[in-house]
């Protein structure tokens, strides 16, 4: 496949780096200010080096990358709320041109699911978004394989940063600020971790799961979610929880009609009490009890892996 990659963060860079060995050709790359375009395939190493040393990917205009020659547009720009721009426009342009879109950007799927599906219906291209939920864990494909109608509820840990903070605090008895600073040093938490620790990142992932499960009968967005984060969680809470054999995890849950995100008491022996940055999703099935899938939920190459899975399904 010929790929156009939008967004040059960790995910976009991983896609560019791994595309060749996966048998794909990158024909366009764009970040917010620059682009590199070559219908015969760009020199990916040169582009990655240029991004690293100069902060730009080329001399072309990002808008021209949208109309370049490609089979699949990879939308990996930062997630934005509300109108989900510019990711939504990138997606629309590609679909209107009859191209496929694979999203790592949660915004269009969480905030404008109905619009996105409407555009897809009008297009000969398809929209896939495995990478928006749970990184390398095949959450959405598992749901699709089981059939959304066979799943009654979903709960899980879907943010690595908050899980790292909570498990570190519980294991070492350290304070929130201390562990957050440590997570930032390790690159586990961003310089501005608000989106993660406020529970908003988890909320968007649950919204996407809920939209897939609702199968168009109902549309969910961020406003439908009751969210509580883990900011400044006192270590005395983790201490009290531990005396009872519990720990605290930021759990997102969708029970069929409502979505709630918040810190919950989880038995230390529970499958949900995953360590470090790991994620887990528990699907409550109609006929087969609960099903757990866990793995690495964040990271450039993990998310790129989910993107390549989607691209393979387009073949």
Partner 1 sequence: MKDSKEGVQTHTVRLELVDEPGELLRALKPIADNGGNLLSVFHERGNVTPRGYIPIEVDIEATPERFEAIIDSLHDADINIVQAGAERYSKNLTVILSGHLIDTNLSDTINRIQTETNATVTDLTLSAPEGTGDISSARLQLAIAAGQKDAAMESIRSIASDKDLRIFEPLTMEGEP
Binding region for partner 1 (CB under 8 A): 153, 155, 228, 233-237, 239-241, 243-244, 246, 248, 251, 253, 255, 260, 262-267, 270-272, 282, 284, 289-290
- Joined together, the tokens standing for residue 84 give 């989900």
Residue 66 or 251: the one with the smaller Cβ distance to partner 1 is 251
Judged on CB neighbours under 10 Å (0-12, 13-18, 19+), 177 is: exposed
Active-site entry in 50, 51, 106, 205: 205
Residue 214 or 237: the one with the smaller Cβ distance to partner 1 is 237
Q: Between the CA atoms of 202, 207, 213 and 217, what dihedral angle is there, to the nearest 10 degrees?
A: 170
The nearest distance, CB 154 to partner 1, in angstroms, is 9
Residue 111 or 253: the one with the smaller Cβ distance to partner 1 is 253
Which 3-state string (H, E, C) describes 9-29?
CHHHHHHHHHHHHHCCEEEEE
CB contact at 8 A, 13 and 300: yes
Residue 40, SS3 per DSSP: coil
Residues in the chain: 315
The nearest distance, CB 265 to partner 1, in angstroms, is 5
Residue 243 or 315: the one with the smaller Cβ distance to partner 1 is 243
The nearest distance, CB 261 to partner 1, in angstroms, is 12
Catalytic, 106? Answer no
The nearest distance, CB 306 to partner 1, in angstroms, is 24
The nearest distance, CB 280 to partner 1, in angstroms, is 10
Residue 8 or 266: the one with the smaller Cβ distance to partner 1 is 266
Of 77, 244, 268, 106, nearest to 171 by C-alpha is: 268
- Joined together, the tokens standing for residue 230 give 């883990």
Judged on CB neighbours under 10 Å (0-12, 13-18, 19+), 234 is: exposed
CB contact at 8 A, 157 and 250: yes
Dist. CA 131–CA 30, nearest whole Å: 19
- Joined together, the tokens standing for residue 192 give 């501005």
Residues pairing with 292 in the sheet? 282
The nearest distance, CB 246 to partner 1, in angstroms, is 7
Residue 108 or 263: the one with the smaller Cβ distance to partner 1 is 263
Residues pairing with 262 in the sheet? 251
CB contact at 8 A, 161 and 196: yes
Which active-site residues does the annotation give? Answer: 205
């Amino acid at each position: 496949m010929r790929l156009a990659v939008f967004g040059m963060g960790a995910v976009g860079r991983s896609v560019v780096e791994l595309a060749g060995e996966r048998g794909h050709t990158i024909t366009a790359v764009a970040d917010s200010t620059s682009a590199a375009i070559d219908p015969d395939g760009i020199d990916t190493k040169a582009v990655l080096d240029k991004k690293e040393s100069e902060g730009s990917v080329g001399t072309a205009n990002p808008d021209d990358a949208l109309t370049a020659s490609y089979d699949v547009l990879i939308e990996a720009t930062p997630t934005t709320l509300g109108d989900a721009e510019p990711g939504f426009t990138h997606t629309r342009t590609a679909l209107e041109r009859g191209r496929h879109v694979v999203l790592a950007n949660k915004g269009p799927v969480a905030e404008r699911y109905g619009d996105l599906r409407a555009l897809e219906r009008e297009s000969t291209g398809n929209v896939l978004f495995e990478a928006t939920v749970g990184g390398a864990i095949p959450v959405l494909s598992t749901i699709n394989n089981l059939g959304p109608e066979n799943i009654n509820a979903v709960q899980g840990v879907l943010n690595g940063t908050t899980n790292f903070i909570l498990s570190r605090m519980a294991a070492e008895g350290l304070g929130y600020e201390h562990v957050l600073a440590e997570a930032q040093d390790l690159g586990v938490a961003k310089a501005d971790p608000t989106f993660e620790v406020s529970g908003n990142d988890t909320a968007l992932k649950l919204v996407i799961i809920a939209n897939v499960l609702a199968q168009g009968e109902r549309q969910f967005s961020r406003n439908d979610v009751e969210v509580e984060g883990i900011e400044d969680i006192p270590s005395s809470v983790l201490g009290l929880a531990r005396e009872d054999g519990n720990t605290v995890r930021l759990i997102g849950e969708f029970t069929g009609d409502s979505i709630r995100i918040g810190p919950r008491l989880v038995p230390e022996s529970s499958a949900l009490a995953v360590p470090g940055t790991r994620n887990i999703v528990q699907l409550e099935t109609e006929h087969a009890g609960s099903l757990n899938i866990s793995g690495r939920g964040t990271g450039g190459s993990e998310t790129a892996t989910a993107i390549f899975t989607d691209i393979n399904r387009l073949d």
